Amino acid sequence: MARNLDKTSTRADFAYSRYNGWPEIKESLITGSINAAYMLAPLVMDLVAKNVPVKIVSLGHRSGAVIMVRTDSPYRTFKDLTGKVIAIPSRFAVDFLFLRKMLAEEGMSPKDVRIVEMAPPDMPAALYAKAVDAYCTGEPFGAVAQRAGYAVPLRMTRDEWPNYICCVLTVRQELIDQNPGLVQDLVNYVQGAGEWLDSERDHRTRAAAIAAGNKYFNQDEAVIQFVMDNPVDRVTYGDLRMIKQEFDDLMQLSVQAGTLTGPVAFERYVDPHFVKAAVPARVAL
C-alpha cells in the first residue's frame, strides 16, 4: 500500500488483493494465482511440511490479538469461562495458541471450554447476540465491539505476549528464485512502512484513513483509529525482525496444539536473507 501511494517511486507496483478466508488465500498461493500473501505463520509451517514451496520473508506486525467478553458479563478470568463457548478464527490461527496459553496459565485446557471456529467479522455480532460467550481474534474485530461499548478485552497480547507473531509475509519459492530483487523491494517497503507507522503518532492517523477504505479493511475509520490509539502498542509494526527462537516456540506450540503433525525446521519455512539485507524504504505519504 505504501509503495503504490508513494508517487516518488517509478518501479513496478504492488497490488493488494483482499480475501475473505484463510482457505481461499492458501489455495491461491498453492496454485500460484498469487505469488505473495500475508498468511498465518502455523499455516505456512503446515504448507511447507506438505512440501508446498513457500517461504516467510518478513513479519507483518506484532501483537494485535485480543480475547473479548461482554461488558455486562461476569467473566473476568478464564475459570469463569469454564464450559462456555469461545470463538476462534481457525485452529491454525495464532489466536488459538494465544487462547491455549491463557487457559494454561489458569491450569485449564481447551477441553474445559467449548471452542468454535468463526470468521472474525462475524464475532462481534455473535457476542452481542450472546451466541458466544467470548471470542479470540486479531484486530480490528475486538475494537469493533469495544468501541460500540458492549465488550471489553479479557486479555490482550500487548500485555501477555508482546512479541506475538501472527500474519507473516509469505512468497512462493519460484518468485524468490526468479525475481529476488522484487522480493527484496517488497520487504524493503514492508520494513519501511513498519518503521514509519511506529515513528510518529500522526503517521498512524494517516494510515488508519487509508486502511479503512473498501479496498483494504473496509471498516469505519474510527475503528481502525481506535486500534491504533487504545493503547498505541495494541498492534506494533516497528520490530519486524525474524527471530529463530520465536518461530521455533510458535512451531512447538502448534505441534502441542495438534495443528502441526510434527516439528518443521526454521530453515525450511523462513528465508531471513531479505530482512537481513533490507534497506527500509522511505514512505512518502
Partner 1 sequence: MNYSRRVFLGVSAWLVGITALHLKLNVNWSAVRNGFRSLARLQTLVVGGLPVT
* Nearby residues of 161 by Cβ (< 8 Å), 6 or more positions away: 63, 98, 101
244 binds partner 1 (CB under 8 A): no
In SS3 terms, 98-126 reads as HHHHHHHHCCCCHHHCEEEECCHHHHHHH
DSSP state of 133: S
Site map 245..284 versus partner 1, x via CB under 8 A = ----------------------------------------
Distance CA 175, CA 182 (A): 8
Residues numbered 30 to 59 that lie near partner 1 (CB under 8 A) are 33-38
Contacting residue, 57, 193, 235, 251, with partner 1 by CB under 8 A: 235
Distance CA 97, CA 12 (A): 37
Site map 154..173 versus partner 1, x via CB under 8 A = ------------xx-x----
User: In angstroms, what is the minimal distance from the CB of 107 to partner 1?
Assistant: 29
User: In angstroms, what is the minimal distance from the CB of 126 to partner 1?
Assistant: 15
Reported as type and span, the H/E element at residue 155 is strand 151-156
Would you say 159 and 53 are in contact if contact means Cβ atoms under 8 Å apart?
Answer: no
- Of the pair 73, 184, the CB lying nearest partner 1 is at 184
231 binds partner 1 (CB under 8 A): no
Sign of CA dihedral 198, 203, 208, 211: negative
Residues numbered 136 to 155 that lie near partner 1 (CB under 8 A) are 137-141
Interstrand relation of 36-40 and 167-172 (parallel, antiparallel or unpaired): antiparallel
61 binds partner 1 (CB under 8 A): yes
Q: Could you list the residues that contact partner 1 (CB under 8 A)? A: 12-22, 25, 28-29, 33-38, 60-61, 64-65, 89, 120, 137-141, 166-167, 169, 174-175, 178-179, 182, 186, 216-219, 227, 235
